[in-house]
């Protein structure tokens, strides 16, 4: 039990939260450099597992090819193996996970089993119009089809609000959810995030 308590103190485990275009990816890279945390992005996990044809990757691919959402069990499986492989890290930045209450509950149970706990959820707060502007701008260079249609972008934001915002409320009940102003320069937003992480 003593070891578990030590782990709890040492590790900083952050959920980096926010709608598409809120700058999570950019900020995660900077936070990893400064705080020495392991960045786990569900998007990267999917790409890695599918590229390497892992059993979970094959399963994910079968859903994606049909245009269906990948089931929670597959996403959670990928996340667990990524955490298990990096238990020597100073902590984790989870990006794109959890996306719903079931995933949040699964994460809590998994962390408890590992003897670690969530430090906090940091949500980048950006208005819809600003998000649309940013993603359209990104679409000029990203080559992603879903970055160049305002209609698709607004739909992605609406889906995020409906499905994912309950996760913020879920962690708010245990005083672990924090809104961070997502407007300003990359540096300004980074400063706000860093200040909060140091307080956690």
Q: Which of 12, 38, 134, 156 is an active site residue?
A: 156
Under DSSP, the state recorded for 77 is H
Give me the catalytic one of 12, 38, 99, 134: 99
Set 12, 24, 38, 134: catalytic member: 24
Q: Is the dihedral of CA 18, 23, 25, 26 positive or negative?
A: negative
> For 89, which DSSP code?
S
Is 198 considered catalytic here?
no
Q: Check if the beta carbon of residue 157 is closer than 8 Å to that of residue 131.
A: yes
Our answer to whether residue 144 is catalytic in this structure is yes
156 given a catalytic annotation: yes
Q: How many helices (H) and strands (E) does the chain have?
A: 9, 5
Which residue of the set 58, 90, 112, 144 is catalytic? Answer: 144
Q: Which of 138, 154, 176, 179 is catalytic?
A: 138
99 carries an active-site annotation:
yes
- Catalytic annotation present for 154: no
Rounded distance between C-alpha atoms, residue 160 and residue 15, angstroms: 15
Catalytic residues: 24, 99, 138, 144, 156
């Amino acid at each position: 039990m003593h070891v578990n308590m030590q782990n709890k103190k040492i590790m900083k485990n952050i959920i980096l939260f926010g709608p598409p275009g809120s700058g999570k990816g950019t900020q995660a890279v900077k936070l990893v450099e400064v705080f020495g945390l392991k960045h786990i992005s569900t998007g990267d996990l999917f790409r890695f597992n599918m590229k390497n044809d892992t059993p979970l990757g094959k399963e994910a691919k079968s859903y994606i090819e049909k245009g269906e959402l990948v089931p929670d069990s597959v996403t959670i499986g990928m996340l667990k193996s990524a955490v298990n492989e990096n238990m020597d890290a100073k902590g984790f930045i989870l990006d794109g996970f959890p996306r719903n209450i079931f995933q949040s509950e699964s994460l809590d149970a998994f962390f408890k089993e590992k003897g670690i706990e969530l430090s906090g959820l940091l949500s980048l707060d950006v208005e819809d119009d600003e998000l649309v502007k940013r993603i359209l701008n990104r679409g000029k260079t990203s080559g992603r089809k879903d970055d160049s249609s305002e209609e698709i972008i607004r739909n992605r934001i609406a889906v995020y609000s409906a499905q994912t915002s309950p996760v913020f409320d879920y962690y708010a009940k245990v005083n672990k959810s924090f809104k961070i102003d997502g407007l300003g320069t990359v540096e300004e937003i980074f400063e706000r995030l860093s200040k909060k992480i140091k307080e956690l």
